[in-house]
């Protein structure tokens, strides 16, 4: 008994540093955010923190920019899922083999993921620079001058331009998760499908997809969470403009906190983001689980 207690004490001592970091860097900020969402504060140390109950949430829901930002987030989320899930699955199927040079292509497609969003955004900002950028230069050489647009300044297309850039950067993660699912499929099942005479499309639809459903669910949940907290790409590329055309909840929160010095309202936005992410994750998880049970 004493040995068991001593063992538990040792485990607790090893876990204590990690728990302290977790509490200081995650738990406390979350609790502090919920606290500030009910107060008015300008962000300066020593200034008055005034309790205002749910007034900050009322201000958030009455703000037109909030609803525009929320709509943009939903557009980013839906298009990211619609683009990255099929594209990531296609790349995973393509790279799920043993042909020569496959490691190079896996690393090449995954490379944007390990680069910072800021550097990626700056790179694309130069590529899409009006007139002198690589894209406009190629279009002019191909005689397609009429197709040249203000890719990051035209409110009718700049949000979709940002979405494509974000999809390009995050595609590697989706691909790797699908690859891990494809590798886990037993060879015996593939061979049985071949013996039964199933063609490539039938093997994909009736064998591969049902067996990697968990990978699909993981990718969908990660994309939902990732798009809800998207910030750096849009901040560097467009700063949410012009006229809030590309503002999302992250940029709206940032502007309220660090430009308008309304940390109470910014905290309320963060709470809304947290609750929205929690609900959407539950919905996505339940939907994928129900689909798995039906299958």
Comparing C-alpha atoms, which of 254, 275, 283 is closest to residue 57?
A: 275
Task: For residue 50, list its beta bridge partners.
Answer: 40
Backbone angles phi, psi at 247, to 5 degrees: -65, 140
Quote the strand ranges of the chain, DSSP E.
Answer: 39-40, 50-51
Please say whether the structural domain 64-117+154-294 has been given the CATH code 3.40.50.1780. Answer: no
Backbone angles phi, psi at 50, to 5 degrees: -105, 130
pLDDT above 80 for 3: no
Summarize the confidence of residues 206-210 as an average pLDDT.
Answer: 83
Q: Is 261 left (phi over 0), alpha (psi -120 to 50) or beta?
A: left
The length of the chain is: 295
What is the secondary structure of 67-127 as a DSSP string?
Answer: HHHHHHHHHHHHHHHHHHHHHHHHHHHHHSS--TTHHHHHHHHHHHHHS-HHHHHHHHHHH
Sequence ranges of the domains in the chain: 64-117+154-294
Question: Minimum mean pLDDT among 11-25, 118-132, 149-163, 186-200: which range?
Answer: 186-200
pLDDT 10s digits, 15-45: 888 889 888 888 999 999 999 999 999 888 8
Confidence band for 125, pLDDT divided at 50, 70 and 90:
very high
Nearest-10 Cα torsion for 245, 248, 250, 252? 50
- Per the CB < 8 A criterion, the answer to whether 277 and 77 are in contact is no
SS3 160: helix
């Amino acid at each position: 008994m004493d040995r068991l207690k001593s063992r538990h004490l040792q485990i607790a001592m090893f876990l204590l540093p990690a728990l302290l970091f977790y509490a200081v860097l995650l738990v406390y900020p979350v609790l502090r955010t919920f606290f500030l969402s009910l107060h008015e504060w300008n962000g300066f140390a020593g200034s008055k923190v005034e309790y205002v109950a749910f007034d900050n949430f009322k201000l958030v829901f009455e703000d037109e920019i909030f609803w525009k930002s929320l709509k943009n987030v939903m557009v980013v989320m839906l298009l990211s899922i619609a683009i990255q899930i099929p594209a990531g699955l296609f790349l995973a199927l393509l790279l799920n083999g043993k042909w020569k040079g496959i490691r190079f292509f896996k690393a090449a497609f995954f490379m944007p993921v390990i680069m910072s969003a800021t550097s990626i955004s700056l790179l694309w900002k130069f590529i899409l620079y009006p007139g002198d950028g690589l894209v406009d230069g190629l279009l002019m050489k191909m005689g397609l001058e009429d197709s040249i647009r203000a890719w990051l300044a035209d409110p009718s297309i700049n949000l979709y331009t940002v979405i494509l850039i974000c999809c390009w950067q995050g595609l590697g993660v989706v691909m790797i998760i699908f690859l891990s699912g494809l590798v886990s499929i037993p060879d015996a099942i593939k061979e049985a499908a071949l013996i039964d005479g199933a063609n490539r499309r039938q093997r994909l639809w009736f064998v591969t997809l049902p067996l990697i459903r968990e990978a699909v669910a993981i990718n969908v949940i990660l994309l939902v969470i990732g798009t809800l907290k998207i910030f750096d790409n849009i901040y560097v590329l467009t700063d949410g403009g012009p006229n809030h055309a590309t503002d999302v909840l992250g940029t709206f929160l940032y502007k309220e906190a660090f430009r308008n010095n309304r940390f109470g309202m910014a905290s309320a936005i963060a709470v809304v983001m947290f609750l929205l992410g929690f609900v959407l994750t539950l919905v996505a998880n339940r939907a994928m689980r129900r689909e798995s049970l039906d299958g």
